[in-house]
A = this chain, B = another copy of it.
Amino acid sequence: MSRARNQHEQPHGYRLGVCFYPEQWPRDRWESYARQMRALGLTYVRVGDFSWSDIEPRPGVFTWAWLDEAIDVLASESLQVVIATPTAAPPPWLTKAYPEVRPVDVHGRRLRGGSRRHCDLASPDYRREAARIAGAFARRYGIHPAVAGWQIDNELGDHGTGRSYSPAALQGFRGWLEHRYREVARLNEAWGARFWGQQYTDWDEIDLPNLTAGGPNPAHSLDFYRYSSDLVAEFLSEHATIIRAHSPSRWVTHNFMRLCDQFDHYPASAPLDVVTWDSYPTGGVEYSPLPPEEKARWARTGEPDLVSVNHDLYRGMKPGGHWVMEQQAGQINWAPSNPAPANGAVDLWTAQTWAHGGACTSYFRWRASTIGQELTHSGLLRHDETLDRGAIEIATSALDRESMVDERRHVVLLHDYESLWVYDEQPQSAGASYWSQFMLFYSALRGLGIDVDIRHPDDDLAGYRLIVAPALQLIDADRARRLTRWSKKARMVFGPRTGFRDRSGNVHSTGQPGPLEPLLGCRLRNTDAMPPQVTTLAAGHEVQIWAESYRVTRGDVVVAYDDGPFRGTAAVIRSGSCLTIGAWSTTLVRDLLATELAALGIPTVDLPKGVRRVSTRTREIWLNFNDTPTRTPGGLIVDPVSWCIERKRKD
């Protein structure tokens, strides 16, 4: 996977920042805000996102003065500015002039303006206008000394707009398919279009995969998701190029979202210099598939692994440290319920970002908005300009803001967006999803105190000692070859559905795991997609949601099912350095991973729920998400919703 050159080295040390909307506040407050920001120890201030109608109130008429001034005010306090281009919200005059810039949703409805993300990346009008305004920003501020970097757009794919079902998208999709397959016959073959008799004779017979009576062909959907994803990557690349043309030596980023499935973030992040994401731990819990009692438990802190998985994911996309571009610093506004974070949570999240290798945490937002859709969202300042609880935690934090050493970790989890798409397109079990299955393995490792990287399966995996592939559903010959090569140098663990499909999203004619069979030493016999309240047992462990039964081809049965239709058949197979786990079981997965780690001599601990550890050569960072104190093996007391650092003893 090619990576853009990192044009701008980030400074050493862990920095803080904030998202600021000067246009929403009286001019006479700016100086004092800037002073307060500096006093809080902030380095970066993001401005400009959603400012299009303030900068270009009428077509071609630009009012830069206020932003010029705002940047100067910030600069006067030595704050560095991150400029976000405002393309996430075209102004009403633009929406009116070019109605087709607005996307069409999956129900076939053309969405309206008046909100944000009314942007169809497939619309030539949108693309032309977006490039124009981004260019204007880049020219205006490209060499401003206070400008440290750029954020392209804002949260691409939010509100489900990563995929537009518009006529423009249809036209684009057809062209994309023609480019990919050249001949319709090859598309028919790749899609298995003879299934249900949908073989095409011409490109213009192809429709979008929504509004079908009985569900679309998954290969059709997969290609549409690829096309939509390519639009995102193309958009980011185009805008990175525009910005770099006018803004030398500044870095370019985009703020991605938590566990987002709308596009492939690997090619999307390729044209960027820095990867950032927006962290809202309480909202993450509300929208997670956790059971109600777990949601209640983590309501005020977020669930630790559901936060950190994003750190490990986005850190893996670029060297040099990722950012949290928007860090919740109080209650949010967009979840069904929006509880007040626990005392200490903002500091804990900030420390967690740092511990997981982040370079900066930038809080959202400076002052709580008095207008618009987010007026119930918190800021570092309250509506009345008093310092909110989050700001006080930042000001009083014990975090020393030294960079974490980005040490190579021993363990890596493999993640692939295409596998995610086909998984969630046909989950087959009500409780199953790609991310849930990924978290089954991720949380098991974190609960054992293991620090992990997350990488794309086609990346260079040299140096890892344990490679865990929780849910690599898409395996073709090339990928199988690469994985086989790594298996010579590392132990590997594979989860359910590994290798179920080829690149087109079809099943291998040899069945699961397709070309991985020589490596895994087994073939799938059957799957069991258990509904709620149905479970089975494997070596005494409760299995729910999903079970796979294997036929051994050259491996050994490690675990067999104790009951149910698969009784006596293999649930877990070992073949050489590879372990294949077919049973969805929290305790079984944990035990098996612990055994692998022990065999590798990688030490583990048995962490209580809510307690997590990050380990470096010299230190251990302990993070306690519980509302009770915890004691580390070394004897330190970690307060509720708090963290501490323990120096390692030299034995």
Contacts and interface: CB of A to CB of B under 8 A. Distances in A.
A370 B213 contact: no
As for how many copies of this chain the complex holds, the number is 3
Given A512-B383, A526-B389, A217 B506 contact: no
B383 A511 contact: yes
A142 B129 CA distance: 62
Interface in A539-563: 547, 551
A372 B219 CA distance: 7
Contacts of A372: 192, 195-196, 217-219
A399 to B, nearest CB: 20
B296 A526 contact: no
A286 to B, nearest CB: 7
Interface in A185-218: 191-202, 204-218
Contact of A382 (B219, B386, B525, B534): B525
Given A53-B194, A526-B389, A531 B336 contact: yes
Among A214, A295, A567: residue with most chain B CB under 10 A:
A214
Interface in A84-128: 86, 89-93, 95-96, 103, 105, 107-118
B194 A54 contact: yes
Given A192-B370, A219-B371, A370-B507, A213 B111 contact: yes
Contact of A114 (B58, B209, B299, B512): B209
A115 B92 CA distance: 37
Interface in A506-524: 506-512, 523-524
A208 B292 contact: no
B195 A54 contact: no
A40 interface: no
Nearest to A369: B195
Interface string A556-594: 000000001111000000000000000000000000000
Interface string A289-301: 0001101100110
A528 B54 contact: no
Given A197-B53, A529-B331, A566-B340, A510 B383 contact: yes
Nearest to A530: B339
Nearest to A108: B109
B375 A199 contact: no
A352 interface: no
B194 A24 contact: yes
A388 interface: yes
Contacts of A362: none
A198 B52 CA distance: 8
A117 B514 CA distance: 32
Contacts of A547: 340
Contact of A384 (B194, B501, B523): B523
Contacts of A205: 92-93, 95-96
Interface stretch (A253-261, A263-271, A422-430): A422-430
Given A195-B50, A199-B91, A384-B511, A112 B534 contact: no
A118 B212 CA distance: 8
Given A373-B218, A531-B286, A197 B93 contact: no
A342 interface: yes
Given A117-B213, A205-B93, A373-B217, A565 B340 contact: yes
Nearest to A344: B565
A527 interface: yes
Contacts of A113: 198, 207, 212
B373 A215 contact: yes
A249 interface: no
Contacts of A103: 213
Nearest to A161: B213
7 contacts: A54-B197, A92-B205, A111-B211, A115-B196, A337-B428, A340-B526, A389-B526
Given A51-B197, A195-B373, 4 more contacts: A114-B220, A217-B373, A341-B565, A375-B426
Q: Which 8 residue pairs across A and B have the least CB separation, nearest first? A: A192-B371, A195-B372, A384-B511, A383-B511, A115-B212, A337-B531, A296-B533, A92-B205
